[in-house]
Structure formats: structure tokens, C-alpha cells
Chain A
């Protein structure tokens, strides 16, 4: 029985519970034990009580506030913090029948692409434990791929759901900005942050999105998705047009490009039209992103001052000294770097040159996608330029780490939805293919991804 559960998608488990073949309690307990026994560093906290539920329980990235449950966003400055309220997205899941299984490890404040910036240690990739799982939602991705969670949620600011999903061989969806509430998500960059599912397959992602999305009076930028999100059923791609971008980019691994080309060949076999597409300014996305995101972060992280919650360092000095020492002790290197970049970019005399220009590049990228979607229904790219890399390999070179986000950042800047699905293996490691569509086209993206997923027939190897 227990090994059977491991073989089932979350949606199949939900059907089993609905049909009375499984009980919510036995499903919860199965996954709870799996989570407790996790050896990859994927969890920072696991539920000690069985909450049952009409859906399988969900692993939640640490930066989601859950009432009474440690929620540190992977940071020392929030060590031991237990929020007095629960994030809307998590509440939506609970009300839908999916209770919290545990809190997953992540890069501190979601800043990173390898999960090595967590104050609580790295996460290992279940495909090869000497490799990173990607980031920043590395714990959520490793838990789902490694079979210690049936499904999970993460957040994506510049690729933090899609890139770890790609590196761990699972599905990751970043919804349209404004589809899912950000209330109770510990903020990184507020104009970009978005919550979404990390799941075994596309159907599970659709089922979870259905629970997550919706207007929220506590987040005035959240408008929800109009209409129902049906579970995907498409088996063909006839009449749909796919625009391919990025396969000739410098820095793209040959093995990754080959797997993506093969998957694009599948699109054609399924009746989809494929053409190359130009996104002239998308290549500048990283530069714009690494101004905008740190700028917003430097403002958002001003709240960690040792006064209202979290760490306080005392040094017998005055109030300013308390602020400075607390932030010195509580933040890790990458967070400090981004606060510095952001503060610099927003400082007097530099604002127009950096932040102002970056926002104009953002406009150009929005326009690039708008033009593309006049010619095609979807834009298809590799999710990550490389497969999973060695733990420690890029920690000494922040800029090299930032390049991991090259293909995912343009969609974030444009606020449009994009899913990463496993497209195959390169040297035995998973490769993700990214499919993006216009704002609020999640249902169409997932339908297309479903057809392609069936045709690719990817077999997740870990999860043992």
C-alpha cells in the first residue's frame, strides 16, 4: 500500500480519498513519515500532527507565513519566528483540503539559484547528491522529486519555481503576476514575486493552481484568474503556434539545447506549428532584473531591524548601532550584496541611470512579448541554460550564479505565466522546457504542456 502511494500523482491520491479507497489520515501520515526521514536537507520543519484532509498534504516554502509554525524565509534574522497569521495562498490550500506537511528549505529571502544561500544549510539534488537542486525553491523541488512530498508550493521572482523544477525533473508553474495572493509571503521584490506549484505532473499543477488563485482583499494587486481552471486534457497541439527563443544563446549547454530541440520536434509531431521568434530586448532582462529586484528588496528588507520580530543583536550602543549590528549578524552574504546593489541603485544621483533605465527596459520586454503573442500562442525556451551543477561550484562568483536566470527573468519582468516541464535527460540529468503565454493564459499553457508531457513520457528516476 505505502509504496503504491509513492507511485501516485497528487491528483490520483485525491481521487482515492474521494472514492473512499484511501483515508486522508493515512495519506497524510505516509507523507509525514517520508518528510521526517528526508536526507536531502529539503525540510526545515515537518508537521508533528496528522491533519488529514481531502487532498494530499502540501510542502510549503519557508517564506510563507503559517500561523504558529516557524517561518524564517531561510534567514537567520527570522530564526524561530512564528507568524501570528497564515498567508492567503496557504489558507486557500488548507480550505481546499490540502494541509501543511512541512516548511521547505530555500535560499535566504528567495535570493539565489542553488539553495546554497540558506542560513540552514544546502539542499541536495535527489538525482545526484553532489549537485544543487536549483533555487530559490530548492527544498520544495527536491522534496517533490525525491518523494518526500506529494506536491509543494514555492515562489518565483526571476525563476525560483521554474529553475529548480527543471534541475530536479519536475513541473513548476509561475502564474501571471496578480493571479495568486502575495499576502503572507515574506517579500523579496514585490512587483515580481508570485506563488505557484511544484508538482510531479501538469495535472497536479492545474489542480493546485485552482486552489491557489483568486482575488484577495489583503493584496490589492491580486485579481485572480477569470473562469474555471479545468484539469488539462489535450492530447494534440493542432492549430497552436509555438515561437522558439534562445536556442542559439551563448552559454546554453549543448546537451540542454539538444533535449529542447527534441521536445520541440514532439510539438510538431502533435500538430503544433513551430517557428523561431525574436525577443530583441529579452537578452537585457538579466541586467534590468538585477537592478529592479535588489532595489525592491532593499526597501522590503528595511523592516528587519531587530525591533518587532526576529533577531536582535545588542552591543550597548544607540538605536542606529542596534539596527546596523542586527542586520550585519542576521543577513547572509547574498542578501547583503543585494541590499547594497539595491540601495546604491536607488541612491541620489544614480536612480535615473539604474532604476529608471531598468524600468524602461522592462517596458521594452513587455512589448517584445506583446509582439510575439501576435504571431504565436506560446513562447518556448530552455528553462535553465545548464543542468544541475555541483554544490559549491558557483558560490564564489555571484554573477555566474545570476546567469542561471537568463531564460526565466524576461517572463517575470513581463508578469506573464510560464511553466517548466521535464523534457528529457542530458548526461543523465533532467532538462526543463519552458512554455510561456500571455497574461492569464494558464489554462491554455497547462493544456498544451499536458499534451507535450504525454508525448515526451518523462520518467522521474529518483523518488525511491
Chain B
């Protein structure tokens, strides 16, 4: 189960601003979802290996041949605030 303080802490970790109403609603909803998910707590999973990837793969390498990458101006095309050769952002410590 999850309380209001935890919701605020997790939102901070996720860089997600939530309104008071969202925090309120999220607390209830997340508790309910996590309550369902916690059914797996009851399973005996000792000695079971975790699976993170289902297809057996060796290292996949390509020939070490240089090739063109996306031109800088294309990469900057979608930026909300491109400045010169980069992305402009406010100072990390502006406020």
C-alpha cells in the first residue's frame, strides 16, 4: 500500500508535477493496483531465475565501419528551443 507522502516522493523521482487532486486520486488508485500486483508476494519463487529477455542472443556486433549519422540540423529540428548547435534550457539553479 502507498500513502500520500510516498506518492509525492515517487513523483519527485519521476520528475512529474502532480496537482493536489492528482495526488489524492493517485494514492487510492496506486494502492488498489499495487494490492492486485502483490498477489505474487504469496508465490514461492525461491531459486527461480529472473527473466529479463526472452530470446537467446549472443553479442550482436557490426563491422567497425564509419557511417553517416543524423546531421546536427536534422536532430535539432524538433527542439522547442534550439540555439546554435545545441538545445537551450534554463539554468539548473535559476530559482
> Interface stretch among A105-113, A130-138, A237-245, A357-365?
A357-365
Q: Are A415 and B54 in contact (CB under 8 A)?
A: yes
Known: A306-B80, A308-B87, A398-B33. A288 touches B40 (CB 8 A): yes
Q: Are B48 and A364 in contact (CB under 8 A)?
A: yes
Q: Are A318 and B95 in contact (CB under 8 A)?
A: yes
Contact of B55 among A223, A354, A363 (CB under 8 A): A223
Q: Are B39 and A287 in contact (CB under 8 A)?
A: yes
Which residue, A85, A177, A344, has most C-beta atoms of chain B within 10 A?
A344
- Contact of A18 with B by CB under 8 A: no
Give the A interface residue count (CB, 8 A): 69
Q: Are A317 and B79 in contact (CB under 8 A)?
A: no
- Contact of A389 with B by CB under 8 A: no
Secondary structure at the A interface, as helix, strand, loop or mixed, is helix
Q: A414 — which chain B residues lie within 8 A by C-beta?
A: 54
Q: Are A331 and B16 in contact (CB under 8 A)?
A: yes
Q: How many A-B residue pairs have CB under 8 A?
A: 172
Q: B20 — which chain A residues lie within 8 A by C-beta?
A: none
Known: A306-B80, A307-B79. A318 touches B40 (CB 8 A): no
> Interface stretch among A93-101, A148-156, A262-270, A333-341?
A333-341
Q: Chain A residue with minimal CB distance to B45?
A: A360
Bound complex: CA A331 to CA B19 (Å): 13
Q: B22 — which chain A residues lie within 8 A by C-beta?
A: 336
Bound complex: CA A364 to CA B2 (Å): 28
Q: Chain B residue with minimal CB distance to A337?
A: B29
Q: B79 — which chain A residues lie within 8 A by C-beta?
A: 307-309
Q: Are B41 and A323 in contact (CB under 8 A)?
A: no
Q: Are A328 and B16 in contact (CB under 8 A)?
A: yes
Bound complex: CA A327 to CA B12 (Å): 12
Which residue, B38, B41, B43, B93, has most C-beta atoms of chain A within 10 A?
B43
Residues of A whose CB lies within 8 Å of any CB of B are 81-85, 176-178, 191, 217, 220-221, 223, 281, 284, 286-288, 290-291, 298, 302, 305-312, 317-325, 327-328, 331, 336-337, 339-341, 343-344, 347, 353-354, 356-364, 366, 398-399, 402, 413-415, 439
For the complex of A and B, list the 5 residue pairs with the smallest distance between their C-beta atoms, beginning with the closest.
A415-B54, A359-B50, A309-B78, A312-B80, A328-B17
